[in-house]
Chains A and B, each alone.
Chain A
Amino acid sequence: MQPDDVRRALTRIAHEILERDKGAADLVLVGIADRGDDLARRLADEVRRIEGPEVPVGVLDITFYRDDIGMRADAPEVHETRIPFDVSGKVVVLVDDVLFTGRTIRSAMDALMDLGRPRKIQLAVLVDRGHRELPIRADFVGKNVPTGRADDVRVLVAELDGEDAVVVEGAR
């Protein structure tokens, strides 16, 4: 995906969220660190452009909820969690860059539940690359990308990487 493709996908997802949830009342966006939070802020900008209201954006780090702690050589790197609003009663749209095994999303839902009781949790991803290991699906998808299990799919965002792109590298 090129920068324009990423922009169009985010615009469409913003429309879909507003259509599905009938507006932006009670809507909050929570991006999964890192890169998911940048995408969540972009979606919030799109929502504001389309409908007007300011949608709260939070960032969630799922490190402490991972299911593979202690199975890797090094402890995972920890990012910041900053959700400066109460998620109870809200429609929370989780935002991540790539949906793969579904384990990150499982962790994110657990983390979110510890912070309150959302009315509804939905999932928006820029890329769905398949190979789920858990019964999880996305509500809003930028692009479905068929991949091999060992392929490397990387989403680049301008905030961190200087440009927007989705890069698929085949396994060597």
Chain B
Amino acid sequence: MNEHLLSMHDLSATDVTRILDTAESFREVGTRVIKKVPALRGRTVVNFFLENSTRTRISFELAAKRLSADVINFSAGGSSVAKGESLKDTALTLQAMGADAIVIRHSSSGSPLQLTRWVDAHVLNAGDGTHEHPTQGLLDLYTMREKLGRIEGLRVGIVGDVLHSRVARSLSFGLVKMGAEVTLVGPPTLIPPDVSAWGVQVSYDIDGVLPKLDVCYVLRVQRERQRLEYFPSVREYARLFGITRDRVALMPEGGLIMHPGPMNRGVEIDSDVADLPRSVIEEQVTNGIAVRMALLFLLLGGGKGETA
């Protein structure tokens, strides 16, 4: 495995399998009374979040704490970033304080890669702009494998604002790497122009795709990223692409509904759909902790390239 996790492209199919297998052991730890193991005692993990986040930040914090690492949480407001300190100077400060791993979320695509040029710590991308969110992609793969027993050959539809979605990118790359069939579904304005290189299908007709899906992965309508008018109105979007109970009925029995959160209930997903037993949105969150534990363990548990 690479020293950092910046993109799904950093991982081979073997790496992905190893991460998911290791996560399985950490799932077991999560069911114990004492949900903590001493694996990363004495290591320091910095959560460096320059963009809002609930579940990813808490998930990483819990993951590091359950590995007995020391955790520092650090966001833009309330830090010197608010005084105008540059990313580089902030990174060098974290380096000087002895961070072993830096988990970064940033609104600019590529900032985790830039960070690796300045610091010795392992860098984990927790979402960079519209580029990638590999830990989300991995926890989604884990959840599909757990629920459906395999990834290879699964038919997965990723529905919604693919253009702005780093989740969709990481998940598509991961699914294709593991041999699943991916169909992107959404209004043409929200399908990225470079999609021919992804190895996926594209459709603009949700009702035609749903009967052929093992997993319907619903993306959030990212209102904060809608700078231009990509669709006429939220109501029209909900009518054309929102996952309603009637639409779920088109799916094969046993097909899953997934969503990376936070949900806009009533927009991309109906409230009663989100609460169906086949919606595994909460399991995704629980699995996220185990997958992030596995990643921190696998990255920090080896030496930094040197052999002992």
Contact = CB atoms under 8 A, between A and B. Distances in A.
A80 interface: yes
B120 to A, nearest CB: 14
Contacts of A78: 21-22, 25, 297
Interface string B24-44: 110011001110111110010
B229 interface: no
B25 A79 contact: yes
B301 interface: yes
A115 B32 contact: yes
Contacts of B37: 64-65, 111, 114
Interface residues of A, number: 24
Contacts of A70: 43, 300-303
Nearest to A66: B39
Contacts of B32: 114-115
Contacts of A63: 25, 39
A75 B298 contact: yes
Contacts of B34: 114-115
Contacts of A110: 38
B243 to A, nearest CB: 36
Contacts of B38: 64-65, 110
Contacts of A80: 24-25, 28
A61 interface: yes
A73 B307 contact: yes
B232 interface: no
B224 interface: no
Contact of A74 (B21, B28, B302): B302
Contacts of A81: 25, 28-29
A110 B38 CA distance: 9
A111 B29 CA distance: 11
A76 interface: yes
Contacts of B299: 75
A64 B243 CA distance: 42
A69 to B, nearest CB: 5
Contacts of B22: 78
A73 B304 CA distance: 7
B39 A73 contact: no
Nearest to A62: B37
B277 interface: no
Tell which of B24, B303, B306 has the most Cβ of chain A within 10 Å. B303
A73 B305 contact: yes
Nearest to B21: A78
A119 B167 CA distance: 49
Contacts of B297: 64, 75, 78
A82 interface: yes
Nearest to B303: A73
A71 interface: yes
Interface string B273-308: 000000000000000000000000111111101111
A72 B28 contact: no
A154 to B, nearest CB: 22
Interface in A142-167: none
Nearest to A116: B33
Interface string A54-69: 0000000101111011
Nearest to A65: B38
Interface of B: 21-22, 24-25, 28-29, 32-34, 36-40, 43, 67, 297-303, 305-308
- A-B interface, 10 closest residue pairs, ranked by CB to CB distance from nearest: A75-B301, A64-B37, A64-B39, A73-B307, A75-B302, A74-B302, A114-B34, A71-B308, A78-B25, A75-B298
